[in-house]
Structure formats: structure tokens, C-alpha cells
Amino acid sequence: MDSILVRGGGELNGVIPIAGAKNACLTLMPATLLSEEPLTLTNAPRLSDIRTMTELLGSLGAEVASLQGGQVLAMSSHNIHNHTADYDIVRKMRASILVLGPMLARDGHAIVSLPGGCAIGARPVDMHLQALEAMGADLELRDGYVHAKARGGRLTGAQFEFSVVSVGATENALLAATLARGTTVLKNAAREPEIVDLAQCLRRMGAQIEGEGTSTITIQGVDRLGGATHPVVTDRIELGTYMLAPAICGGEVECLGGRMDLVGAFCEKLDEAGVSVEETERGLKVKRKNGRVDAVNVTTEPFPGFPTDLQAQMMALLCTANGTSVLEERIFENRFMHAPELIRMGAQIEVQGGHATVTGVDKLKGARVMATDLRASVSLILAAMAAEGETVVSRVYHLDRGYERVEEKLGACGAHIERITT
């Protein structure tokens, strides 16, 4: 099993190219199921989760070709011969549930296993199913699978209000509504850039959508969708992660392709902590303002608030900040599992329920630590780069789900990092 070895110390200087968004690409790929014509995605990230979605779509009969080193995905769903998304594939990744809406919309029936993914809380799919039921789907949960059929063979437009903001449920409902008969209005919808990106892609395919990026999205169903070519939006979580690298280690890094509008709330917290973020022609340039950063309080919220997917990485920064910080996690109930691993490196962290209190220390120390989920894994790498001595991060298969070529990107800026196989 692979591990990451990090030798701490030294500033980071250079440029880091930011990939296309994992969470956007995993949402865009199932859109191919809505049309018999080709859908091509450019700027695709090269990640294990993308390979898992490729495997899932292939099992349904879709053709997915990985071109230009994996950065272009050419897809065609003209021959869907299977409408069952099997547990053995779906269990690997929560985003697999996003094939349910498109299959139900296109052919009126689907059987999809309940999904897996990172163990960061219950994350039920209730609202996915409630939205589809509102559009006329008859659903039955049996033997760990969702058995779904559209009454009358086709979904029908409806008004549906999400009880809480849910990115995945908004995406599934949006995908399904494009081919539903009549108008669908989604209220209290998620506003994330990945939702906007999905709507833009679906519009290129011929969908009629208004209001993406706001809390109310209106979709006028059409009889069929065509093909399209669409660039995947920049990964705001990878962007934020690498913006933290010079903030933690010192130095100056330019994140190519970065956009301030994708990480506005995050940039506000960096500024408060004493980290400079400057827009350039190529992206965002980041460096500390005056040496050691200051403590800040962080509360995770749906977009445009501070992203839950950057909470673990922000905690790594605050471990050596001047003062005491409080991080409040409002999205997932079990997302401080990285805290005990950071404590092994000398961090002072107390966790009580959804709050973590971090008192900054002068220096972290290298140790053997274990990644518990995707974002926790990269937070440990960030902390290790600023720690004294060597750190070995094990179980980095989590890392490979969401970050491509981490060692290469950080190593090019001066980090002492390598992958080891045991």
C-alpha cells in the first residue's frame, strides 16, 4: 500500500497548475446518459474517482474514451443496455448515485445501489429520492438498492423545495428535470460553482434552465438532448488546498487557473489570518503578509460560505497560527477525524461535537500518521511540509481520489515529498 513521505522545512516557491474540478466532472459525466449523442468534457482531472465513474458508466453501456492523457473524456450513450448500477462499483464513491436521475429521465426506470465514499457522516440520499418522487417516480428500497420507475414511463415537472441545501440532491434533480414533461422548479437549491457548471453543460446539450447559482432553479423539460463539448470548471477545493501551501510553509506560489470568485469566503479568511492573495493574468498568487499567521475562527457553510472541503486543510494552517482558533463544522457531523493525527504531530486541538478549538504552537513535529478521508489526507501533507523531521502519511488511496500528481506539483515548488510503496 502506498504512503507519502514528507521531509519538512523550507519555503515553497513556483507555480502550481490547478486541475478541473473533481466534483464537477463527476456530476457532468452522468449527463451523457441523457442523450444518444456524444458528450465531450475537456479539462478533466486525472483521478481514481473519475476512473470509478468511467467504470460505472461503462457497466451501463456507455462508451467513455480517455484522451490527451486523461484530460479529455469523450463519451457516448447511444447503446444503454443495462439499467442496474451495481453495488460493487457504487460502493466506492458517493457520486455514483448521480446516474439515478438521468437513467430515470431517459428510459423511465433504473436500479441503483445505495452509495459509499468517505466516512465523514451519514450523508443520506433521502432528498435525492424525495425530489424524484415529486417528479412522479415510484421508488422502492430493497436489498440495498433503489428500484425506481417513472409513472407513465416519463417523469413530470414539479415544484420541490429541499429541506436543507444539498449539492448532490440538487444535481440529481436538475439532471432528471431536463427530460421531464413540463416545468420543474427547485427551491432552496445549492448554489455551488459545480451546479452552475452542470447547468451550463446541460444548456449546451439543449436543456432549458434558468436560475443556476441562485436558490431557485427553473427547468423546462425538453423531449431530447443533443451532444456537446464542455470544459470542466477549475477545482476550487484543489485551488484552496494549494493556496494554503505557501501560507503554511512560507514562500510565494501562483495557482494557475485560479479564480477569486470560486473561493471568495476562503480568501476572506486568509486575509484575516495574514495571507495575501493577488489576482494575476494566469490565476492567483499567494504569500504570507508578515511571517507567522494569526488565528481566525471558521464556520463551514454551503456556498458561497466557507467550504467544508477546505476545513481540514485550514486546520493544518491554524495549528501553527498565533493564538487560538475555533472551527465549527455545520455540514457534516463527523469531519474532525484528522484532528487526532495532527495531535500526533504536536498540534493542540480539542474537539467537542461540531467544534474544534486549535491553539497554535511554534512548530509541528514529523510523525507516522494515517489518512482517514480525502481532505484529511492532504491536510496531513500540508502540515508535514512545515513540520520538523519526517512524516509518513499512510492510506493515501484517499488522496488519489481527489488530487492528481500531488508529489509532482508540490515537489516542483521545493517540497521534499515522495511516494513510497510498502
Last residue of a domain, one of 183, 213, 231: 231
Query: Which is catalytic among the residues 25, 118, 249, 413?
Result: 118
Residue 193 — very low, low, confident or very high, per pLDDT cuts 50/70/90? very high
CA distances in angstroms from 363 to 10, 293, 342, 420, listed in the order given: 13, 13, 12, 25
* End position of a domain, from candidates 231, 264, 279: 231
Contact between residue 198 and residue 9 where contact means Cβ atoms under 8 Å apart: no
C-alpha cell at 92: 466506492
Quote the pLDDT of residue 120.
33
pLDDT-based confidence at residue 225 (cuts at 50, 70, 90): very high
Sorting pLDDT into bands at 50, 70 and 90, what band is 332?
A: confident
Residue 308 sits in the same domain as residue 345:
yes
Assess whether 311 and 334 both reside in one domain: yes
Distance of alpha carbon 414 from alpha carbon 422, whole angstroms? 25
331 is in an annotated binding site: yes
Look at residue 122 in the predicted model and tell me its pLDDT: 44
Over the chain, what is the mean pLDDT? 94
Same domain, yes or no, for 251 and 210?
no
Question: Which CATH number covers residue 227?
Answer: 3.65.10.10
To the question of whether residue 309 is assigned a binding role by annotation, the answer is yes
pLDDT at position 123 is 47
* This prediction's pTM: 0.92
**CA 188 distance to own-chain centroid:** 20
Kindly report which listed range (59-63, 184-188, 197-201, 332-336) carries the lowest average pLDDT score.
Answer: 332-336
Q: Please check the confidence at residue 253 and state whether its pLDDT lies above 60.
A: yes
Whether residue 118 has pLDDT greater than 60: no
pLDDT at 125: 86
Residue range 363-377: mean pLDDT, rounded? 92
Q: Is 118 a catalytic residue?
A: yes
Is 249 found in the same domain as 219?
Answer: no
Helices 374-386 and 236-249 pack at an angle, to 10 degrees, of: 20
Residues 112 and 46 placed together within one structural domain of the fold:
yes
Task: Give Rg (Cα) of the chain.
Answer: 21
Buried b (16+ CB within 10 A) or exposed e, 325-354: bebebebbeebbbbbebbbbbbbebebeeb
pLDDT number for residue 372: 86
Widest CA span in the chain:
66
Asked which of 109-113, 138-142, 271-275, 370-374 is least confident by mean pLDDT, the reply is 370-374
Does 94 belong to an annotated binding site?
yes
Annotated binding residue at 23? yes
Q: How many CB atoms lie within 10 A of CB 378?
A: 29
Give the structural domain span for 34. 22-231
Q: Are residues 133 and 264 in the same domain?
A: no
Instruction: Give the ranges where 350-404 is alpha helix by DSSP (H).
Output: 374-386, 399-402
Q: Is residue 80 located within the same domain as residue 167?
A: yes
Q: What pLDDT score was predicted for residue 119?
A: 41
Asked whether 284 and 255 are in contact (CB, 8 A), the reply is: yes
The dihedral region occupied by 159, where left means phi > 0, alpha psi between -120 and 50, and beta the remainder, is beta
Do the annotations mark residue 126 as ligand-binding?
Answer: no
The amino acid at residue 271 is D
Cα 109 to Cα 94, 177, 271: the distances in Å are 20, 14, 50
Q: Which of 267, 275, 316 is nearest to 294 (CA)?
A: 275
Q: How confident is the model at residue 417 (pLDDT cuts 50, 70, 90)?
A: very high
Mean pLDDT, residues 129-154 taken together = 94
In total, how many domains does the chain have?
Answer: 2
Do 413 and 313 lie in a common domain?
yes
pLDDT one-digit tens code per residue, 48-102: 899 999 999 999 999 999 999 999 999 999 999 999 999 999 988 888 999 999 9
One domain, residues 283 and 345: yes
Question: From CA 207, how far away is CA 216, in angstroms rounded?
Answer: 16
Mean pLDDT of 351-372: 95
Q: Given this model, what pLDDT does residue 374 score?
A: 83
| Range name among 34-43, 120-129, 232-241, 243-252 with the lowest pLDDT average | 120-129
218 and 104 co-located in one domain: yes
Domain end residue (candidates: 213, 231, 249): 231
pLDDT in the model for residue 375:
84
State the DSSP string of 274-342.
Answer: TEEEEE-SSEEEEEESSSSPBP--EEB-STTSB-GGGHHHHHHHHTTSBSEEEEE--S-TT--TTHHHH
Same domain, 407 and 338: yes
pLDDT, average across residues 243-258? 97
> Directed axis angle between helix 374-386 and helix 311-318, to 10°?
20
**Co-location of 226 and 242 in the same domain:** no
